[in-house]
Amino acid sequence: MKKMTLHTFSKQGFWTMILLMVPVLAHAQLSKVGTSAAEFLRIPVGARAASMAAYTANMNDASSMILNPSGLSALANSEVLVEITPWYLDMTHSFFGAAMPTGKGVVGVHVLSLNYGEFEETTAEAQGLTGRTFSAYSVSFGVSYARQLLPQFSIGGTAKVVHEQIAKSSASALAFDIGTVYQTPFDDIRFGVSVTNFGSKLQMNGNDLIISSDPDESQSGNYEPDAILATQKFDLPLMLKVGLSWDAVEQDNMRLTLSVDGNNPTNNTQSVSIGGELALANEQVMLRAGLPYLGQEDKIETFSSGIGVRYRTSNGVGLGFNYSYHGYDYLGDVNKLSVQIFF
């Protein structure tokens, strides 16, 4: 009887918390799109998290280093996660993460990048194409650490370097991510908070910004020294997420998890994301779906879905394959595939 009472309260509490997030969508907000640099940090990482859309309180793989570092504490085995996603206009979004449990927590390293490809150079002097090309890319690499401070509470952090390069000009910044997950006493409801991309500003510098100058164009014969074009400093895309995750159904061979995230970015309006995961065959097959950024007026994401499969080989090595589909307005859809190795 006590179990049933607790379960009923947990359902009411879960949906109550969702309703508390809804007022975020009800009032007009000032859009801040285009006010930050390193936008590649906002691209979904990890096919599992990306297909669910809401993941803050439900992280349990190496992509936690980017999304909510406290999720690393859920790893019982060492893990390598590799993901290469064809993005728009021949761009490539890639992630590599490796994590290993130790006696005092879980440590991990990651590399996240977006390669923009090659571009044909044009200049005013050449009145068009010069015949030369240049490349551009964005990259983040860092280290993470997470541990359970209490049986019900875990915390984690990531320190990373963010670098953006175009031709011979670049910008770099130091950034930090931090997150927590709390297992509430209410029937498998987890509460998570993450703050990502908190750090210094990015400012472009490099040889491409050097130009010749004339201090006084009204007179001839002046010395024309080189000058450097001044560029502005831009913030990283700081994001605060507050999430709930509830294992609504738990049976011997089936689990249904529902999740909701409240999103508060510095470069866009507030929103809510919802998602779910259905695990079958003793956690060997997972079906997922989500609705990202509900209430964000200028969002281009429509919905996401995916599937996951995992199994162990005869020598004890585990393999996981996760696929996600992302629906987008205007630019087309994106397919993402993550490969995991457990050992």
Q: What is the pLDDT of residue 6?
A: 41
Paired tokens of 211: 């130009």
How many angstroms separate the CA atoms of 101 and 105, rounded? 6
Mean pLDDT, residues 274-300 taken together = 93
Domain assignment present for 148: yes
Domain assignment present for 212: yes
Are 107 and 99 a contacting pair, CB within 8 Å? Answer: yes
How many angstroms separate the CA atoms of 2 and 112, rounded? 47
Domain assignment present for 126: no
pLDDT in tens, 214-265: 777 777 777 778 888 889 999 999 999 999 999 999 988 899 999 999 999 9
Q: What is the pLDDT of residue 30?
A: 61
As for how many domains the chain has, the answer is: 1
> Around Cβ 271, how many Cβ atoms within 10 Å?
22
Residue 244 sits in a domain of what CATH number?
Answer: 2.40.160.40
Mean pLDDT, residues 87-116 taken together = 95
Q: How confident is the model at residue 5 (pLDDT cuts 50, 70, 90)?
A: very low
Domain assignment present for 127: no
Instruction: Supply the mean pLDDT for the chain.
Output: 88
Are 68 and 58 a contacting pair, CB within 8 Å? Answer: no
How many angstroms separate the CA atoms of 275 and 51, rounded? 8
Q: What is the pLDDT of residue 290?
A: 97
Are 64 and 81 a contacting pair, CB within 8 Å? Answer: no
pLDDT in tens, 26-38: 455 566 777 788 9
The dihedral sign for the CA sequence 115, 120, 124, 128:
negative
Q: Is 313 helix (H, G, I), strand (E, B) or coil?
A: coil
Q: How confident is the model at residue 276 (pLDDT cuts 50, 70, 90)?
A: very high
How many angstroms separate the CA atoms of 69 and 205, rounded? 31
Question: pTM score, two decimals?
Answer: 0.86
pLDDT in tens, 55-80: 999 999 999 999 999 999 999 899 99
* Amino acid at the residue 314: S
Range of 105-109, 187-191, 316-320 with top mean pLDDT = 105-109
Domain assignment present for 128: no
From the list 246, 251, 299, 297, the residue with the least C-alpha distance to 275 is 246
Mean pLDDT, residues 322-339 taken together = 93
Domain assignment present for 300: yes
Q: What is the pLDDT of residue 11?
A: 57
Q: What percent of the chain has pLDDT over 90?
A: 66
Q: What is the pLDDT of residue 22?
A: 52
pLDDT in tens, 130-154: 888 999 999 999 999 999 999 999 9
Q: Is 252 helix (H, G, I), strand (E, B) or coil?
A: coil
How many angstroms separate the CA atoms of 177 and 112, rounded? 14
Domain assignment present for 77: yes
* Amino acid at the residue 92: T
Question: What range does the domain containing 71 cover?
Answer: 2-119+133-342
Domain assignment present for 250: yes
From the list 183, 130, 169, 154, the residue with the least C-alpha distance to 71 is 154
